């Protein structure tokens, strides 16, 4: 019964960890692969005023060159990067006007840095490397619905450039795009050359670089490395020119990811409580039921320390066997979930496969926790047994 409880606890943790961690990874993957990239570089101070989409904090040609030099040194870890100009504008269908946030991109670079962005775009995209062409605009689907716009319709973008003058540009709607973080999304896409025309930008100028890493697990290491390298670039006031952020710094989903981690820890605490109470209960019962046997082995000369060891070994064995069985069943359950090919949708991204996995380190940590708690909870009953006086124990019927 105790073994069964421990096994259930271990299986519960493994399955929950496997599914939730995989789900979390997929969600993070969706956000980084279709919107943010793994890392982003801006001019220092940009992110603190990102809601205003300032244009006076653009990275100029010299800055772009400096960044390219850094990226070239790390082609082994950086898979792709995309230059962006983010700006706010007014969108008019000639009848109504509303505000819109736009990300101007070079589509090939953007597709390489955020390969799942095209999955959010409605309609058929023949060539993902050309998902936005010059003279076209992709508008958020809720704005399209509100303004009754469809592919092929003409719209006008009106925006201030960084000097304050107002400019306009006529574009055609190519597609609509789903807002990733909910219905209030007002993010559209235009070609970077159109943005330069609209904003009267001469030469190369951007305000955001999205970076895709080859190995997202190396995010923190790469963040530290790049931050260190970027810190060498200083302006005339000896202040850093660039700032670097991870996707987690920029996305509210990082809070959800933290909640998932907290849930996993909570489940582990529940498991610990199950193991502690189960082992304590069974070992107390074991001592109580074996008082006469304890008296016998004590009378024939077993040292108190050996009696302690015998009961500790029993608790330890119980934990080891239960943990091994729990691990096997837990991993099999994850395999079964994978074999069952469970799919779900996340916004416009359909048929996302729930691919569960659990890191060996997670299995080891769960096993070590269970074994440690089992040993701790065996200690009190084992001490009780070892301190029993044989004369009292032998009298016990």
The least CB distance from residue 15 to another protein, in Å, is 35
Taking the C-alpha atoms of 9, 15, 20 and 25 in order, what is their torsion angle to the nearest 10 degrees? 140
Of 173 and 307, which CB lies nearer to another protein in the complex structure?
A: 307
Residues at the interface with another protein (CB under 8 A): 292-293, 295-306, 389-391, 394
Q: How far apart are CA 242 and CA 61, in angstroms?
A: 14
Q: Considering the complex, state which of residue 303 and residue 353 has its C-beta at the smaller distance from another protein.
A: 303
Least Å distance between CB 380 and another protein? Answer: 19
Residue 1 or 397 with smaller CB distance to another protein: 397
Residue 324 C-beta: closest distance to another protein, Å: 22
DSSP 325-366: HHHHHHHHHHHHHHHTT-EEEETTEEEEE------HHHHHHH
| Shorter beta-carbon distance to another protein: residue 109 or 282 | 282
- CA distances (Å), 54 to each of 104, 133, 170, 178, 242, in order? 14, 24, 22, 24, 15
Give the span between the Cα atoms of 310 and 385, in whole angstroms.
10
What is the smallest separation between the CB atom of 292 and another protein, expressed in angstroms? 7
Return the number of the residue (48 or 292) whose C-beta is nearest another protein.
292
SS3 content of the chain, % helix, strand, coil (to 5): 55, 20, 25
CB 384, min distance to another protein, A: 14
The DSSP result for 46-78, as a single string, is TGGGGGG--STT-B-HHHHHHHHHHHHHTTTTE
Report, in Å, the least distance between residue 305 CB and another protein: 8
Between 31 and 388, CB nearer to another protein: 388
């Amino acid at each position: 019964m105790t073994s069964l409880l421990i096994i259930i606890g271990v299986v519960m943790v493994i399955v929950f960890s496997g599914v939730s961690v995989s789900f979390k990874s997929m969600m993070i993957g969706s956000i980084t692969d279709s919107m943010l990239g793994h890392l982003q570089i801006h001019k220092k101070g940009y992110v603190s005023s990102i809601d205003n989409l300032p244009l006076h904090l653009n990275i100029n040609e010299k800055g772009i060159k400096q960044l390219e030099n850094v990226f070239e040194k790390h082609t082994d870890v950086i898979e792709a990067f995309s230059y962006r100009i983010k700006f706010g504008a007014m969108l008019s269908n000639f009848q109504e006007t509303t505000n819109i946030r736009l990300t101007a991109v070079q589509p090939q670079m953007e597709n390489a840095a955020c390969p799942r962005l095209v999955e959010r775009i409605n309609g058929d995209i023949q060539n993902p490397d050309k998902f936005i062409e010059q003279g076209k605009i992709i508008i958020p689907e809720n704005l399209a619905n509100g303004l009754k716009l469809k592919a092929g319709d003409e719209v006008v973008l009106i925006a201030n450039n960084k000097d304050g003058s107002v400019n306009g540009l006529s574009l055609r709607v190519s597609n609509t795009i789903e807002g990733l973080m909910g219905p209030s999304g007002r993010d559209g896409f235009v070609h970077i050359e159109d943005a330069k025309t609209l904003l009267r930008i001469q030469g190369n100028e951007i305000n955001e670089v999205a970076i895709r890493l080859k190995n997202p697990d190396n995010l923190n290491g790469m963040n530290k490395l790049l931050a260190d390298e970027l810190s060498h670039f200083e302006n005339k006031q000896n202040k850093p020119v660039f700032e670097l952020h991870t996707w987690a710094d920029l996305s509210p989903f990082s809070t959800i990811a933290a909640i998932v981690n907290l849930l996993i820890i909570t489940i582990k605490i529940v498991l610990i409580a199950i193991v502690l109470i189960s082992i304590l209960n069974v070992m107390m019962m074991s001592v109580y039921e074996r008082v006469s046997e304890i008296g016998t082995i004590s009378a024939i000369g077993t040292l108190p320390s050996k009696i302690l060891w015998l009961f500790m070994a029993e608790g330890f064995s119980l934990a080891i066997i239960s943990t091994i069985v729990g691990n096997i069943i837990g991993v099999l359950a994850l395999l079964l979930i994978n074999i069952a090919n469970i799919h779900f949708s996340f916004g416009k991204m359909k048929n996302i496969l729930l691919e569960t996995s659990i890191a060996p380190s997670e299995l080891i940590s769960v096993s070590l926790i269970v074994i440690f708690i089992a040993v701790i909870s065996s200690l009190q009953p084992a001490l009780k047994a070892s301190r029993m006086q044989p004369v009292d124990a032998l009298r016990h019927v």
